[in-house]
A and B are shown apart, each in its own frame.
Chain A
């Protein structure tokens, strides 16, 4: 068999892994790959910044469950991927970054655009590789794909020296690989399953607390079956939203620092907390020693390090969420025997909390000129009402708009809410939307963003226009870095240091400059019509809403407090 160059081998490996699209940015170190890529039949999406390429790959992966691929050059190309790698890894998203590197003999010489990217990304990837010879490239790519997708998925970086890409070797793609030191544990232990089932049957006040792991493992239906079969209310983490139907009567909404009243109350009163694919993040638990103190805890997680990390678990179940839930359901049978009276009382209590903590539209203030200002919550709510029939896929950036979206925009399906959870990356949503729209060309994809975040990757408007992606970009323009300003208002004496953005650019003109369309709403009565109008446009649109700056995200658990001490919606101090 004739030999291929490393660059050709890489592309053949991608084909074997059924890669359809690669996001990235070229440079000298990867020029050989691009040379062959052009005629390979694979789609290359040229983002305008490598960070955006990684976020787009993550968006693609989160929308499909398939790994997202990024190709960047050495040096600055590689360092620009750091934020994206860290974010994807923290949110357990399978992505692979292929970075160029200087030739092997130049490594260590401070050569032009040489950077030790393997060293830099060691602690923010699931694993990374420096490929040392063309002959091992195929095996390493195979391993990299396997590691990124299996167990708790994550980010993998493969660093490719230029001469490894130009050198030649015989191409043989390994059929199956076994890594002695890496064998994710997917099957639940029957004993633990039995214990979990027993607790589930005897609990009087159970709550299911489900995270991104449910979505990742495709366990949404199993979760729904379990909840319905035992009438257990379900709360989601930010990453878990959509993993349980948002409009289901058993759904409590998101829990945690900006969680809904009924969700936090239920967790605090529960006698059993069934954690599925969630990791007791500090933004979920608030003050840890006062979190769910009355509850026994069952924790299902594929990652053993998630267990007993922050909270001691009564029944740990190291397994894939889908397999674990299936095993539990099998054991419970169709008509399990549990205390139905107790459950009725529990659900009634929850219903009362639900009433007490119902989200409102946000206070409507009037400008000095007598115009009704737009409350940001109303924008999200209206957007939801106007688009829900189309089951849109929502991406967000980070800040108040993200939390309002999590609270007000309901998703009945998994993989429809895509947000940067663990790392909280401003600038994630727009490029992520690119990946989502490319993965799901027919879907309505909306990036809900803030006036701060949108500027962090605004250059991607070019990519969107050139790739003809009909993404709708909703800017909640409150003239500030709202989430930080909120903390200043509540805890720092209203000293708005470095958070007021002023007018900012003219987003409508900016959209036009990039070749998209833009609309702006400044009054409450313009909200619905402008959304309707944007939906009729087949190309990319920016819809800017100038909203009341004083709106705050409630409920809110102050830092260091228990989630029982949340400031309810009615605490809104800016009502005056």
Chain B
């Protein structure tokens, strides 16, 4: 489904917090041959509602169709396409990097520059936490690769419009 006018879109879905709803969303997308690049799900302030942040890439026409199809799902309250908005997007990544006495200072200063946190120190590793948008995360991971990344886990991206307010509660 890749083609030249491929777009990356960030969608925020307000859904009923019920079993099976996530399966409906992902099933709808995968059933049409799309890959979900990133996904994150959590309850909102209203415990009956969950927020799903999804990132997909495809031609705009396909994405328009997907958005309409998502809106049609009975358990989906709202589909917000944040792509058009001015929005912030963050993910959290945990990395375990190999260390030795010679490079610890350098790694610590990298961590500081990227506003990371060292969560755990062992004789041979640092376990660190970073948050940021995709680009920042990619940059720090490339830099850390030089030292040897032992393990890395990451959440999906979550996103919010900078100025616009979307009600996440039931009326």
Contact = CB atoms under 8 A, between A and B. Distances in A.
B24 A181 contact: no
B23 interface: yes
B23 A179 contact: no
Contacts of B76: 181
B71 interface: yes
A118 B20 contact: yes
Contact of A181 (B16, B27, B28): B16
A303 interface: yes
> Size class of B's contact patch?
20 to 34
Given A118-B20, A181-B16, A123 B77 contact: no
B68 A123 contact: no
B121 to A, nearest CB: 42
Contacts of A304: 68, 71-72
B24 A122 contact: yes
Interface in B1-37: 15-16, 19-20, 23-24, 27-28, 31
Nearest to B64: A308
B65 interface: yes
Contacts of A182: 74
Contacts of A126: 74
A520 interface: no
A263 B40 CA distance: 50
A143 B115 CA distance: 50
A147 interface: yes
Nearest to A156: B74
A177 to B, nearest CB: 12
Interface in B44-74: 61, 64-65, 68-69, 71-74
A288 to B, nearest CB: 13
A126 B74 CA distance: 8
B23 to A, nearest CB: 7
A305 interface: yes
Given A122-B24, A308-B64, A180 B77 contact: yes
A106 to B, nearest CB: 17
A308 B66 CA distance: 12
A180 B68 CA distance: 17
A122 B24 CA distance: 7
Given A119-B23, A123-B28, A308-B64, A181 B69 contact: no
B75 A181 contact: yes
A265 to B, nearest CB: 29
A181 B74 contact: yes
Given A180-B77, A180-B170, A181-B74, A122 B69 contact: no
B170 to A, nearest CB: 6
A30 to B, nearest CB: 22
Given A127-B74, A181-B77, A122 B65 contact: no
A309 interface: yes
Contacts of B162: none
A122 B72 contact: no
Max chain B Cβ within 10 angstroms of own Cβ: one of A126, A305, A309: A305
B40 to A, nearest CB: 20
Interface in A132-185: 147, 179-182
Contacts of A123: 27-28, 31
A223 B20 CA distance: 41
Interface string B132-164: 000000000000000000000000000000000
B68 A305 contact: yes
Given A118-B20, A181-B77, A305 B72 contact: yes
A307 to B, nearest CB: 8
Contacts of A147: 74
Contacts of B75: 181
Contacts of A308: 61, 64-65
Contacts of A181: 15-16, 73-78
Contacts of B74: 126-127, 147, 179, 181-182
Contacts of B68: 304-305
Interface in A239-281: none
A130 B19 CA distance: 10
Max chain B Cβ within 10 angstroms of own Cβ: one of A181, A305, A308: A181
Contacts of B170: 180
A304 B68 CA distance: 7
Nearest to A119: B23
A141 to B, nearest CB: 15
A131 B89 CA distance: 37
Contact of B23 (A122, A127, A303, A305): A122
A147 B73 CA distance: 11
Contacts of A303: 72
Nearest to A184: B72
Interface string A435-473: 000000000000000000000000000000000000000
Contacts of B24: 122
A288 B33 CA distance: 21
A147 B72 CA distance: 11
A130 to B, nearest CB: 8
A130 B15 CA distance: 18
A126 B75 CA distance: 11
Interface in A304-355: 304-305, 308-309
A130 B16 CA distance: 15
Nearest to A126: B74
B149 to A, nearest CB: 37
Interface in A288-303: 303
Interface string A109-137: 00000000011001100110010000000
Interface of A: 118-119, 122-123, 126-127, 130, 147, 179-182, 303-305, 308-309
Closest A-B pairs by Cβ, 9 of them:
A181-B77, A305-B68, A127-B74, A182-B74, A304-B68, A123-B31, A305-B69, A181-B76, A122-B27
Given A303-B72, A305-B65, 13 more contacts: A118-B20, A119-B23, A122-B20, A122-B23, A122-B24, A123-B27, A127-B74, A180-B77, A181-B15, A181-B16, A181-B77, A181-B78, A305-B72
Interface of B: 15-16, 19-20, 23-24, 27-28, 31, 61, 64-65, 68-69, 71-78, 170-171
11 contacts: A118-B20, A119-B23, A181-B15, A181-B74, A181-B76, A304-B68, A304-B71, A305-B68, A305-B69, A305-B72, A308-B64
